[in-house]
Amino acid sequence: MASIDVEDVLSKLTEREKISLLAGTDFWHTQAIPKHGVPALRLSDGPNGVRGTRFFNGAPAACFPCGTALGATFDTELLEEAGRLMGKEAIAKGAHVILGPTINMQRSPLGGRGFESIGEDPFLAGLGSAALVKGMQENGVVATIKHFVGNDQEHERNRVDSIVTERALREIYLMPFQLAVRDAYPKSFMTAYNKINGTHVSENTRILKDILRGEWGWKGLVMSDWFGVYSTSKSVIAGLDLEMPGPTRFRGEALVHASTANKIPAGVIDERARQVLELVNECAASGVKENAEETTNDTPETSKLLRRLAAESIVLMKNEGDILPLKKDKKILVIGPNAKAATYCGGGSASLRPYYAVTPFDGIVDKVDEGNVDFSIGAYSHKEMPSLGAEWRTTPGDDGEHGALFKAFNEPPSDKDRKCVDVLGPFTNTSMMFMDYKNPKLKSGLWYADIEAYYTADRDGDYELGVCVYGSAKVFVNDKLVLDITENQRQGSAFFGLGTDEDICSVPMKKGETYFVRLEFASAPTSKLTGGSVDFGGGAVRIGGAWKIDADEEVRRAAELAKSADQVLICAGLNMDWESEGFDRPDMKLPGHLDRLIAAVAEANPRTAVVLQSGTPVEMPWLSKVPAVLQAWYGGNETGNGIADVVFGDVNPSGKTSLSFPIKNEDNPAFLNYRSEAGRVLYGEDVYVGYRYYDTLGRPVAFPFGHGLSYSTFSFSDLKIQTPTDTEGDLLARVTVKNTGKVAGAQVAQLYISPLSPSLRRPTKELKAFKKVLLQPGEEKTVELKVALKYATSFWDESRNAWRSEKGEYKVIISDSSAVGESAVEDTFEVQKTKWWNGL
């Protein structure tokens, strides 16, 4: 793909051609104008991997650990390396633009997309995202930083008005974007769905024009989130260059009419078209051809980095009595629903089809003799029935391939002479969205499909099948109708809010017998529902199943097995049923009977370790009874191997919590101000987000921000501070970090600034810099942390509409978490003169 002479091309385009550039043509591509040498660009999700152009039956991809996991590494060098791999993945998928990273702030643990973002602190998110962007853009791929700004909840996200003070907007919510622009210059921004103080961001002149392009001096393309445009003239004037996806709703003929009616100031259409053409030139450096074939980058080097990322993101939260690491030569009892499920990512636009996905159980068995590993599920954690998965086959016998087949038709099942026009599969994930499914043999938007699989029962009992659908569906077992979701449909949260609530039926099965399951699907036009935050054609369906269990009996059985076990590891947590785009979590609790299971097993065996997988915090009412806890997030393709590496000590854990873990949901600062009410949400906690709130008020937490233990121990000493002569220079802090333990490991030096005599209320301390250092036993190194003095000392002065670096004394704290302990070291410095500033 060759670069173009932007001004020459722009001078030759008609008004209609210019306007055609300002909206996508389909879900993932921009408009091409071949006669002027303008190619179509391909955009692709996302935040934790590059999916390509297809939700359904897409080319497999590398799934990275989720955003909060990447944040937990506290390692910008590692994140830059991750960004480089994301860039290579984009090139393999023929994508010019990556829709990520996500850097919204987690006001509350309940955010449905909280797992996508890097953390609750703007400097952790800003510096971490800058590293990712640098890596992504190294080979000419463009990063799209999102969601700008205030998309911090899913509830009514398209209509909610985020009411936030200017100070909180600047210090918390805009700051990560500001740092990313300063340090890495992402070449594209994506607007948030919501309003900010009364105006949707996609038509918010103050946010897009005055701050982003004015104060920060940023030049690049601004695109909408998908279906996040709500006007024609306003969005164009405000600075929204590209409406996505296509075909357009608000541009095209509507914008032509607005332009001819002089609703658009002179030159504005040229400005917007120029940015699209400039993006073409930015993308030319990637070498990705127009409409390139989607391929894979599944190499040993890819797997190696993904495994390292998974392991280095894991946080050792608690380890009393050195329960961890486990011994490889002793028998281990593994319990829990996350053990044999690869919980590798959250749901929504962050989800993708991985090259492979390693379960924790597989990771453990790979390190020890399988005969030394026992398993009990103990309890379920699913909200909707698990995907039919690899236990199902395409033919009745054991020789069939694992998974289900998909067969498409133009005619309904009632037409006995209908012909199959497409066969795909097998699919081990039977959650399917057809927004990007195309087949030239399908004659219209109304089409049909059969999803078929065989299952041989491994026990006697009742097997439950569950279905969510956008469209309509019937389910048959051995040709007997067991579920009908054609007329009576209940609104659910699946498929971005377009799908039905799950319908469940129970099927008696006998051990050794084989059952043929067929789901008859009809596409989106047959849906009886309305609503949803996005609107896509094709339809969607999810079929899953699981044995019906007696919860009390399963918990009792797991506890009984634990009594005689040498080592017990519980694998529990959430999954994409609970954390996904489109809805927020109702509470912080673990699902189902998991809390009861963990408490019962810990009581039966006091040497129980728990591995939790979630993208955001969960309540732990059993915490005092469990000696060891690992937070393993959603770890991508290498989830299971990363967990096993840490559990057995092949990797010494070095992750730090990227969010505070409150004891209960009611403790979090946004508790009374989270969700849309009367179309608005009040950011009542102001600048006191996360640890800023808990520290300033002295509130206890389960685990503080920045917390993470090791199989070794470390000390800080010899803090020395160097201050510049004016606020334009850098504050330098040098500190000696020593490994005082017997195992090689990494420690993170976290630099917090505390104003000692502020003129207005400020958080007790705030993170401004961090650095991870790897040390051998007994080794010590001097670590240098650097932060611009004006960023270290300033708050937003609403009376001056500027940053204020205030005269006075400040404390520098180097600590291993926001909860300053005995190992922390401190010193002070002084700012001699108050100074106001704007921009970067």
Which residues are known catalytic residues?
225
Chain centroid to Cα 78, Å, comes to 18
Cα 697 to Cα 355, 401, 763, 804: the distances in Å are: 46, 58, 9, 24
Which one-letter amino acid corresponds to residue 119?
G
Task: Report the C-alpha dihedral over residues 211, 213, 217, 221, rounded to 10 degrees.
Answer: 140
Diameter over CA atoms, the chain = 87
Question: Which ranges constitute the DSSP H helices of 285-344?
Answer: 300-313
Strand partners, 204: none
Q: Record the tokens describing residue 666, joined without a space.
A: 């009611």
Q: Record the tokens describing residue 491, joined without a space.
A: 């609104």
Q: In terms of C-beta density within 10 A (0-12 exposed, 13-18 middle, 19 or more buried), how is residue 255 classed?
A: buried
Residue 677: which residues within 8 A CB-CB, separation 6 or more? none
Which one-letter amino acid corresponds to residue 705?
F
CB neighbourhood size of 220 (10 A):
20
| Alpha-carbon gap, residue 639 to 613, rounded angstroms | 10
Q: Given phi > 0 = left and psi -120 to 50 = alpha, else beta, which region is 94?
A: left
| Alpha-carbon gap, residue 79 to 69, rounded angstroms | 11
| Alpha-carbon gap, residue 318 to 337, rounded angstroms | 21
| Alpha-carbon gap, residue 301 to 719, rounded angstroms | 39
Characterize the bridge pairing of strands 780-788 and 730-739. antiparallel
Helix (H) or strand (E) holding 541: strand 540-547
Question: Which ranges constitute the DSSP H helices of 480-565?
Answer: 494-497, 551-563
Cα 378 to Cα 344, 551, 661: the distances in Å are: 21, 8, 25
Which one-letter amino acid corresponds to residue 526?
T
Which one-letter amino acid corresponds to residue 223?
M
Characterize the bridge pairing of strands 540-547 and 431-433. antiparallel
CB neighbourhood size of 513 (10 A):
11
SS3 745: strand
The DSSP code sequence of 615-675 is: SS----TTGGG-SEEEE----GGGHHHHHHHHHTTSS------SS-B-SSGGGSTTGGG-S
| Alpha-carbon gap, residue 667 to 267, rounded angstroms | 51
Query: Token match 């569950």: residue?
Result: 466
| Alpha-carbon gap, residue 720 to 736, rounded angstroms | 9
CB neighbourhood size of 673 (10 A):
15
Residue 582: which residues within 8 A CB-CB, separation 6 or more? 112, 154, 347, 348, 493, 494, 495, 496, 497, 533
| Alpha-carbon gap, residue 631 to 313, rounded angstroms | 9
Residue 141: which residues within 8 A CB-CB, separation 6 or more? 86, 87, 90, 91, 95, 96, 97, 98, 283, 286, 288
Inter-residue contact 637 to 63 (CB < 8 Å): yes
Backbone angles phi, psi at 486, to 5 degrees: -110, -45
